[in-house]
Amino acid sequence: MLRQQQNKQHQQFAFAALLVLATLFATFVLSCAQEEKKAPAPRARRTGTGSTITAAKPQIDPATAVAVIETAKGTIEFEFLATEAPETSKNFIKNAQVMYYKGEKFNRAEELLIQAGSKLAAGETLPIENGAKEMSRGVVAMAKEEGASVSFASEFFICRDSTILDSDYTIFGNVISGMDVVDNIAVDDVITNITIRNKE
C-alpha cells in the first residue's frame, strides 16, 4: 500500500516535471519564431557592379573662375586666360578639383619664376596652346622640357619678372592678387591646397 502511494507520487512528480519542461520548450520555440519574423536592420543599398557611385563635379567655366593657391606664406590668386588656353585652363581646374596639388611643394624658386606640380600626373602631357600674351611678371604658364612640343599636364610656373623663353609655352593665367607671396616663395614651401572660386 505504501509502495503504491510512493509510485503514484513519483508518477505525479514526473508528470509535473514533464509538463514544466514542455511549457518551457514551447515558450522557447515561440520566441525563436517571433525573432525570425523581425524586420532586418536597414543597410546601405549596393549597386549591381559593386562600385561606389560618386557625384560628378559641376563643370566650371574658366572664363568666370579664379584659382586660389593657399600656402603658409599667404594666398596667390590668378584668373584664367580661357580664350587663349581653354584646354589647359580646364585641365588645371580639373587637377585642382581632384586635389592633385594639395600638399605638393614648390620645386623651383629662382629670380625669374617659381614652379610646382603634382606627382600624381607625372608623365601626362597637354598640347601647347599659343596665345598673344607674353612672358611677364605675374604670368602663369605650363612647364615643359626645353624644345618639347607638349606641356607637362600638372607642372606650372609663375613669373616673378619678365623672362626670355621661347614662345612655345602655354600661358593660361595671370596673377590678380598675392604677388608679394609669389616673391617670398622658396623651394620646398608647401601648397596647402588649390581651390577654384567664381570671379566676384
Tell me the fold of 62-198: Cyclophilin (2.40.100)
pLDDT at 89: 97
CA distances, 120 to each of 73, 99, 102, 140 (Å): 24, 10, 11, 20
pLDDT at 59: 80
Give the three-state DSSP class for 14.
helix
pLDDT at 165: 65
Q: pTM to 2 decimals?
A: 0.70
pLDDT at 53: 36
pLDDT at 112: 93
Q: Domain residue spans in the chain?
A: 1-43, 62-198
pLDDT at 22: 60
pLDDT at 5: 54
Which residues of the chain carry a pLDDT beneath 50? 2-3, 29, 33-56
pLDDT at 146: 82
Let me know: does 152 contact 143? Beta carbons within 8 Å. yes
